[in-house]
């Protein structure tokens, strides 16, 4: 992407939204685990411990980095930045440099909960007239509806998810353990162009209460093998959730899985701009309630019935019956009625969708059947 042009448009949206709240300048802090804001604003993929962006009310963008390699990379790739500062071990260089700008009043901060104490203290000491204000709501609002270039990357990620699921079932069929299954998927998606992949897995029966990192367990006849696969392409991700059975599925597994399939289809059917997230969650939950499993759609067994996707694998809004969010065109979410079912165990099924002007488009193409492998 043209990072200068794209950044200009996106910083303008942030400044406009912040101005409505009486906030002049904005600070974005990202660490290695949560890189979304820096990727969104600049496309910059850093390798060091953290990156900070300062967006002032005049539209100028300054970057602070924590390692020499990121400094050289930022200077080469982002020459349009107002300046790039390399942080020193005392964690005070960035704050001292930005203090010369005379910042005062409300400074909106994204990633405030992630800021190291030493950096936070340095900012407060160097900018005594500044009042730090969290801007989580603004960030979520600006980033929720995706642009065309974002949707293209998410579509590519969804395609990798489809390929990854095929590798997943082949690996189970070959008798590999959970570590090896995950390694096979990782190799497949990264060979196909993914820069990263978030994946969890579950192997077993009624004793499995959720997905988790892999173990050395080898799926045996009758085991359910479930996964959540999330490839990233240039920072953006899509996600696919699937369950299959080693050998022939039991009647209980087939009957249970059918409820999940009907729940996902019910949610997809109601989704369109203007529909509330509560309606999407309720469409899924009501299928379970009508089948006598209403107790298993509570937070005791279910984290959420889906969530947003984009630069993070679990973005707002969470799909639950407490959400206040409303669907808008070009939002991307995964619908996944993942939960525990007595007599069967934990099951998962989920597909990413983009909200269109009159419904949704399902981005993955994999069949949703309970596969026997």
The pLDDT of residue 92 is 81
The pLDDT of residue 89 is 79
Q: Is the pTM of this model over 0.85?
A: yes
Number of folded domains that form the chain = 2
Asked if residue 271 and residue 130 are part of one domain, the reply reads: no
Give me the residues paired with residue 70 across strands: none
- Average pLDDT for residues 183-198, to the nearest whole number? 97
The pLDDT of residue 1 is 57
Residues 265, 284 contacting (CB under 8 angstroms): no
Asked if residue 165 and residue 123 are part of one domain, the reply reads: no
Residues 130-143 have pLDDT tens digits of 999 999 999 999 99
Reported as type and span, the H/E element at residue 213 is none
- Average pLDDT for residues 144-157, to the nearest whole number? 96
The pLDDT of residue 6 is 86
Asked if residue 243 and residue 226 are part of one domain, the reply reads: yes
- Average pLDDT for residues 95-101, to the nearest whole number? 89
The pLDDT of residue 300 is 85
Asked if residue 188 and residue 66 are part of one domain, the reply reads: no
Asked if residue 99 and residue 190 are part of one domain, the reply reads: no
Token pair of 261 as six digits: 């399939």
Measure CA of the first residue to CA of the last residue in the chain; give whole Å: 41
Residues 282-315 have pLDDT tens digits of 999 999 999 999 999 988 888 899 999 999 999 9
Asked if residue 295 and residue 311 are part of one domain, the reply reads: yes
3-state DSSP assignment of residue 45: coil
- Average pLDDT for residues 43-53, to the nearest whole number? 94
3-state DSSP assignment of residue 82: coil
The pLDDT of residue 126 is 87
Does residue 363 register a pLDDT over 60?
Answer: yes
Look up the CATH number of the domain holding residue 199: 3.90.230.10
Residues 65-77 have pLDDT tens digits of 999 999 999 999 9
Asked if residue 237 and residue 137 are part of one domain, the reply reads: no
Asked if residue 100 and residue 244 are part of one domain, the reply reads: no
- State how far the Cα of 330 lies from the Cα of 360, in Å rounded to an integer: 9
- For 66-219, strand residue ranges (E) read 83-86, 105-110, 130-134, 196-204
Asked if residue 203 and residue 105 are part of one domain, the reply reads: no
Residue range(s) defining the domain that contains residue 239:
148-372
- For 66-115, strand residue ranges (E) read 83-86, 105-110
- pLDDT interval class at 145 (50, 70, 90): very high
Residues 39, 111 contacting (CB under 8 angstroms): no
Q: Which residue has the higher pLDDT, 84 or 96?
A: 84
């Amino acid at each position: 992407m043209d990072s200068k042009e794209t950044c200009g448009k996106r910083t303008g949206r942030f400044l406009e939204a912040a101005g409505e709240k009486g906030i002049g300048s904005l600070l974005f802090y990202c660490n290695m685990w949560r890189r979304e804001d820096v990727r969104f604003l600049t496309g910059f993929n850093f390798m060091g411990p953290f990156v900070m962006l300062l967006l002032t009310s005049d539209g100028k963008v300054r970057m602070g980095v924590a390692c020499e390699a990121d400094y050289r990379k930022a200077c080469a790739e982002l020459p349009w930045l107002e300046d790039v500062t390399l942080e020193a071990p005392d964690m005070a260089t960035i704050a001292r440099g930005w203090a010369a700008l005379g910042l005062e009043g409300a400074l909106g901060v994204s990633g405030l909960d992630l800021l190291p104490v030493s950096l936070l203290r340095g900012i407060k000491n160097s900018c005594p007239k500044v009042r730090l204000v969290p801007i989580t709501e603004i960030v979520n609002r600006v980033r929720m509806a995706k642009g065309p270039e974002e949707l293209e990357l998410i579509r590519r990620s969804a395609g990798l998810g489809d390929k990854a699921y095929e590798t997943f079932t082949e690996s189970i069929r070959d008798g590999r353990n959970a570590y090896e299954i995950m390694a096979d998927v990782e190799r497949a998606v990264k060979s196909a162009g993914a820069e990263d992949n978030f994946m969890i897995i579950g192997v077993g029966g009624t004793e499995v209460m959720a997905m988790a990192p892999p173990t050395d367990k080898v799926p045996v006849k009758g085991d359910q093998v479930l996964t959540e696969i999330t490839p990233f392409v240039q920072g953006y991700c899509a996600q696919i959730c699937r369950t299959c059975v080693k050998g022939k599925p039991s009647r209980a597994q087939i009957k249970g899985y059918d409820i999940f399939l009907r729940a996902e289809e019910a949610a997809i059917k109601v989704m369109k701009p203007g529909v509330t997230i509560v309606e999407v969650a309720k469409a899924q939950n009501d299928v379970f309630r009508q089948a006598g499993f209403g107790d298993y759609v509570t937070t005791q067994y279910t984290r959420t019935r889906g969530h947003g996707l984009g630069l993070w694998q679990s973005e707002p809004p969470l799909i639950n019956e407490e959400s206040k969010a409303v669907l808008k065109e070009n939002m991307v979410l995964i619908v996944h009625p993942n939960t525990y079912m007595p007599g069967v165990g934990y099951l998962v099924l989920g597909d990413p969708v983009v909200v269109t002007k009159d419904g949704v488009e399902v981005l993955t193409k994999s069949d949703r059947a309970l596969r026997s492998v």
